[in-house]
Amino acid sequence: MTLSSPLWAAVAALAIGTAALWTNPRRRMNRVLTYVSAYVTFWLVLRHVIVVFPGDLRWMRVAWIASGLFPVGIWLVRDTILRPHVRLIARLGAVRFWWLFPAATSGVALSSWAFTNDGFGSVVYGPGYYTMLFGAIGAQLLLAGTTFRKLRGQIGARRLEMQLLILGGVTAVCFAHGLLGLSVYLGDASLGRTMPLVFVALFGGMVWSLLTTRLLDARHIVTIVVEKAVLVAGVTVFVWGIQQLSLQFFAEWLSYGLSIALGLWFATEVRPWLQEVSQRKTAGEKVRRDAYEIGRRDLPPEAMEAEFVRLLTSWADCERAVILMASQGRLVGGGIEWPLDQPEFKLLHSLRWVTPERLDRGRPRPHGQALKNRLSEGRFGAIVVSGGPSLAFVIALSVPRSCQPYSFPRILKLIALETIIESSLSRAHYVAKVQHAEKLATVGVLGASIAHEIRNPLVSIKTFVQLLPGHYQEQAFRDKFFRLIGDEVGRIDRLTEQLMDLSAPRVLVPKDTDLHELLAASLDLISSKAEDRSVALIRDFEPQLSSVFVDPSAVKQVVMNLAFNAIQAQEHQPSDRWVKFSTRQNANGVELAISDNGPGIAGEVWERLFQPFQTTKSSGFGLGLAICKDILSSLHASITADPPASGCGATFRIILPCQPPTT
């Protein structure tokens, strides 16, 4: 038995048709592609018979009559894309115009105008042969033109499938007939032997792209093919040039090895550049960088989730993006609650990602229709889930505004984004829980101190209330009573306000900030109070200073708090009152030192200085420094106080970051 390239191609076409039917026998597209694959198998078998009996014109005529049916086959696939619910019999009746091509091809193939036998076993090709070739290619181009016109009114998966039909099916038929013509015209039999393999590769690619659950975009495929072709051509020319040059200096084996090594290096260097030129990598890298930037920011979980939702809707160009997280047996988020005990969610977890097109194209699965109903109810075009042992994190995107489905390359990018988003939100929730636990612990520690601070003014108020009935007629008593009530209530109000500042969550927005400009604005606000207390404000700024990555309002609050403390600490000092602000660049960032000429910090207080309710002032509560430390910790900054020294005032040192923190 003769094994020829058409025979191998026929076996491949038969396997393609069998796989198409096995994938989803209920889907009409799969059945139509199975019929077309059977026709292609028959045509390739005829090409094999021509190879076995090269001079037998009967088989050549039958093969060309069969090739005239290619426009009908491609039209059937196109019509199935446009009208997926029409039965095959009704579809064959609607072919009409396209039946003219097999009829015309049959008429030419049966005449001696196409080819004759020269009497010595060789075939003589006449004008009719080339007429059939150009007619077959022209029919495919006409079919491609009408398909392009119909593309304008199509949206969604149908549009992509019609593009793939042109890219795979029409190109395969045109390429096959072009190689047949060149083989005869140039007298090169190798082109004829290559044709079946190239044809079945293109045809198989078309069938796979129309049936795979991984929806493909024709533009993406063309971009990759052109990119690879340019890369292969460039590397080939580079290797050839290196080899020709190195042969002048080295032995042949060394020249060969050197050219291969440099060729691999050249391919590694050029490939990223080609991806950047084709913009195939740029968009994906940008959205990943944006996701990482959001994850690095110290945001509460709710604010971070809102930022990620905005990023997803912008990237996908859709109206709605929902992030759902498992909570008490349900997936909750974006106003949606899905019970995890439903069987369709087990299917979703096993698939990892799902689109309506994947469910339509794939082999029927139990609970697949229920999952498709979930997509339809939420008007979702894609859902991806975390890859853990349980379904704990889900991202759902609505259909894009362009109505185009999510292609598989975009799904891969969405899966990468899902990993980043899940990691960032999990960390944010963990940090929030830790902070909440710390605040609860702080409440326990502060309970006694708060009770003591509030009890003192309440005792004073209670005492005067008890004495009020017996001394109400005394004007001096009433004046003292009203004054005391106001003072003590104000004291409780200030304590409550500072406690809220300490415990309330802050939403800080760090950005690059000029520290000297920030300090100048802060000093303008405290200069009047400093003048009233005869306190000089001294600036000692380093000229060349890096910008700091902080929240300007929060740092201004810290600076003013420390400055007011320094001014108040020098109230009883007769002269030489000053507060000095110094900036220095160091290895960890920028250091801001605030020092004064007051009495300094007592040794027993210094060790607990930044704990709540630690103060030496009669009018304070000792919460200011605790609030400052809390603010700076949220900004990844630090604050320390120099150890007490005899005859020296207090010095506080703040280290501010110059770059965003890395996770």
- Angle 333-336-339 from CA coordinates, rounded to 5°: 100
Compute the distance between CA of residue 353 and CA of residue 418 in angstroms, rounded to an integer.
11
CA distances (Å), origin 392, targets 329, 634, 646: 10, 28, 60
pLDDT (0 to 100) of residue 36: 93
Whether the CB-CB separation of 617 and 574 falls below 8 Å is answered with no
Helix (H/G/I), strand (E/B), else coil: 336: strand
Per CATH, domain 432-503 is 1.10.287: yes
Task: Give how far the C-alpha of residue 503 lies from the chain's centroid of Cα atoms, to the nearest Å.
Answer: 35
Q: Could you say which residues of the chain have pLDDT below 50?
A: 442, 445-446, 448-449, 502, 618, 620-621
What's the confidence (pLDDT) of residue 229? 81
As a three-state string, the secondary structure of 442-506 is: HHHHHHHHHHHHHHHHHHHHHHHHHHHHHHCCCHHHHHHHHHHHHHHHHHHHHHHHHHHHHHCCC
Query: Looking at the domain covering 511-656, what would its CATH class be?
Result: alpha beta
Q: How much is the pLDDT for 134?
A: 92
Q: What is the token pair recorded at 563?
A: 């400055």
494-502: Cβ within 8 A, 24+ apart: 494/621, 495/450, 495/453, 495/454, 495/621, 498/621, 498/623, 498/624, 498/627, 499/446, 499/450, 499/623, 501/623, 501/627, 502/442, 502/612, 502/623, 502/626, 502/627, 502/630
pLDDT at 618: 47
Three-state DSSP state, 48: helix
- What pLDDT, on a 0 to 100 scale, did the predictor assign at position 572? 78
- Taking the C-alpha atoms of residue 356 and residue 349, their distance in angstroms, rounded to an integer, is 16
Residue 232: how many other CB atoms lie within 10 Å:
11
Q: Quote the pLDDT of residue 445.
A: 47
- Specify the CATH number of the domain 5-211: 1.20.1070
> Which of 25, 140, 160, 18 has the alpha carbon at shortest distance from 75?
140
Q: What is the pTM of this model?
A: 0.60
Q: Are strands 578-586 and 536-540 parallel, antiparallel or unpaired?
A: parallel
Note the pLDDT of residue 621: 44
Strand, helix or coil at 62? helix
DSSP 395-457: EEEEPBTT-----HHHHHHHHHHHHHHHHHHHHHHHHHHHHHHHHHHHHHHHHHHHHHHHHHH
Q: What is the DSSP letter of 659?
A: S
| pLDDT recorded at residue 15 | 95
Domain boundaries for CATH 3.30.565.10 within the chain? 511-656
Residue type, 617: K
pLDDT of residue 495: 61
Helix (H, G, I), strand (E, B) or coil at 163: helix
